[in-house]
């Protein structure tokens, strides 16, 4: 598969899972035989860069032959404001995985959106085509709406070197709930997102597609506690409307773990069938309907009493998000894609599990890490993304 691709994580709130998912995606792409560069442009916490440079093989670890990474540097030129450092993490049978970031003294300097695209182009120029670049950044997608006119033109030129370039946007309760209510108007994060897409469209820059269909959406509950049986069964119930297989929930959940392996296997097998029968792309029109429905229902709940924010159960709010999001998807896809169950650009992560807690801190604390360590630390999430990646 001769392709040059990029996946830029530019959505979701802090702690939404961008760094874990970018590490997981990079590891899976390498295991599929791709040349991969993980580019860390997170100027608050460039943790993905630090973690990936710790990666070694089990053989080297047990033989005690772990060696320091070989690096290369890309100087600041052709519009790139800072030199980049790139370290070879693993190289095997003609393909590699590398970890990249700005050189150390600039790691924590604030960036502008244009810096990401300039760095992507610089990496392709240095390493060559037929690579996948996964970008972890703490910029959000609406930040692209503040570009100068010449920067739109520049991005359009940089896109020419890529066969595919996708923004990865994470939907959780926080991204749904961001809204400013002013006299005579309401402004939400979705409104800013939609305006940004329209600005690119008007300038003929095909970053998002004509209707935002090139964005990859991740739906995740983003809770970092052991889920109880009741909430898992609720989430499964909301997923069940999309599943093509029929089953009953009979698995007993293990209290110490929060879930039973058999329980997740049911979910995983159904997700596999969903992705086999995926078709069409989730676009801004469908998302607008989803956001509208969520606001309506959330407003009814929150107006019940002034202390809703203090008394609401977080996991119930998560279930509410899943029910509305997947309910609207089911309605739209049965109408427009009766043969399909899920959009091609939607990744559904049913729940984060116990080992996702302190994912980054645990890996940062390790002297050595393997790709299997990264994938095992969030095994269920890795399995879902692996299913989505099947081509």
Backbone angles phi, psi at 227, to 5 degrees: -70, 145
What's the pLDDT at 32? Answer: 93
Q: pTM of whole model > 0.85?
A: yes
Residue 90 belongs to what H/E stretch?
strand 84-92
pLDDT confidence bin for 344, thresholds 50/70/90 = very high
What's the pLDDT at 267? Answer: 73
The structural domains of the chain, ordered by start, are 1-224+352-373 (3.40.50), 227-344 (no CATH)
Condensed to tens digits (0 to 9), the pLDDT of residues 80-111 reads 889 999 999 999 878 999 999 999 889 999 99
What's the pLDDT at 256? Answer: 30
Backbone angles phi, psi at 148, to 5 degrees: -80, 160
DSSP string, 194-243: HHHHHHHHHTT-TTS-TTSTT-EEEE-----SPPPHHHHHHHHHHHHTT-
Instruction: Return the higher-pLDDT residue of 261 and 68.
Output: 68
What's the pLDDT at 265? Answer: 73
Q: Which residue matches tokens 């980049």?
A: 84
Backbone angles phi, psi at 288, to 5 degrees: -60, -40
Average pLDDT, whole number, for the chain?
Answer: 83
Q: Can you say whether residue 93 is alpha, beta or left, with left for phi > 0 and alpha for psi between -120 and 50 degrees?
A: left
What's the pLDDT at 251? Answer: 37
Q: With a cut of 50, say whether residue 250 has pLDDT above it.
A: no
Condensed to tens digits (0 to 9), the pLDDT of residues 2-21 reads 899 999 998 877 777 899 99
pLDDT confidence bin for 254, thresholds 50/70/90 = very low
Q: Which residue matches tokens 């970031």?
A: 101
pLDDT confidence bin for 353, thresholds 50/70/90 = low
pLDDT confidence bin for 155, thresholds 50/70/90 = very high
pLDDT confidence bin for 314, thresholds 50/70/90 = low
Helices (H), 37-78: 47-52, 58-63
What's the pLDDT at 262? Answer: 64
Between 65-74, 229-238, 324-333, 379-388, the lowest mean confidence (pLDDT) is in 229-238
39 within 8 A of 135, measured Cβ to Cβ: yes
298 within 8 A of 305, measured Cβ to Cβ: no
Q: What is the mean pLDDT of residues 288-306?
A: 82
Q: Which residue matches tokens 């309907």?
A: 289
Q: With a cut of 80, say whether residue 354 has pLDDT above it.
A: no
Give CA separation, 364 vs 56, 135, 312, 374, 380, in Å: 14, 19, 34, 11, 21
Three-class secondary structure of residue 80 per DSSP: coil
Give CA separation, 387 vs 220, 268, 285, 334, in Å: 16, 9, 26, 22
What's the pLDDT at 305? Answer: 74
What's the pLDDT at 258? Answer: 41
Q: With a cut of 90, say whether residue 372 has pLDDT above it.
A: yes
Spatial distance between the Cα atoms of 353 and 103, rounded to a whole number of angstroms: 34
Cα dihedral sign for 117, 121, 122, 124? positive
Q: With a cut of 60, say whether residue 352 has pLDDT above it.
A: no
Give CA separation, 123 vs 43, 82, 130, 134, 156, in Å: 19, 13, 12, 12, 17
List of residues 6+ apart from 294 with CB closer than 8 A: 176, 320, 321, 324, 325
């Amino acid at each position: 598969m001769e392709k040059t691709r990029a996946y830029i994580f530019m959505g979701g709130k802090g702690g939404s899972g961008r760094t874990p998912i970018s590490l997981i995606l990079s590891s899976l792409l390498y295991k599929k035989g791709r040349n991969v560069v993980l580019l860390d442009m997170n100027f608050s916490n460039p943790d993905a860069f630090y973690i990936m440079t710790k990666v070694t093989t089990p053989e080297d670890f047990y033989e005690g032959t772990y060696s320091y990474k070989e690096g290369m540097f890309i100087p600041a030129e052709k519009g790139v404001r800072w030199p980049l450092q790139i370290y070879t993490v693993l190289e095997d049978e003609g393909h590699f995985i590398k970890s990249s970031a700005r050189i150390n003294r600039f790691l924590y300097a604030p960036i502008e959106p244009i810096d990401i695209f300039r760095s992507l182009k610089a990496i392709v120029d240095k390493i060559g085509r037929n690579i996948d670049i996964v970008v972890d950044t703490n910029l959000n997608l609406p930040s692209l709406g503040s570009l100068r006119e010449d920067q739109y033109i520049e991005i359009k030129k940089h896109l020419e070197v890529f066969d595919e370039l996708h923004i990865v946007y994470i939907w959780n309760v926080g991204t749904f709930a961001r809204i400013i209510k002013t006299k005579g108007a309401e402004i939400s994060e979705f409104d800013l997102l939609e305006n940004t897409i329209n600005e690119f469209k008007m300038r003929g820059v095909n970053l998002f597609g004509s209707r935002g269909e090139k964005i990859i959406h991740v739906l995740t509950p983003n809770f970092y506690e052991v889920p109880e049986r009741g909430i898992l069964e609720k989430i499964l119930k909301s997923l069940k409307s999309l599943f093509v297989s029929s089953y009953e929930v009979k698995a007993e959940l293990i209290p110490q773990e929060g879930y039973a392996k058999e329980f997740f296997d049911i979910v995983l097998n159904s997700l596999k069938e969903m992705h086999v029968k995926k078709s069409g792309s989730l676009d801004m029109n469908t998302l607008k309907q989803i956001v509208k429905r969520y606001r309506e229902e959330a407003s009814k709940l929150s107006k019940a009493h002034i202390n809703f924010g203090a008394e609401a159960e977080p996991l119930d709010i998560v279930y509410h998000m899943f029910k509305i999001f997947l309910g609207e998807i089911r309605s739209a896809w049965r109408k427009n894609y009766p043969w399909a169950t899920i959009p091609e650009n939607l990744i559904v992560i049913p729940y984060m599990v116990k080992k996702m807690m302190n994912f980054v801190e645990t890996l940062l604390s390790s002297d050595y890490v393997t790709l299997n360590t990264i994938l095992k630390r969030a095994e269920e999430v890795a399995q879902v993304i692996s299913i989505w990646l099947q081509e």
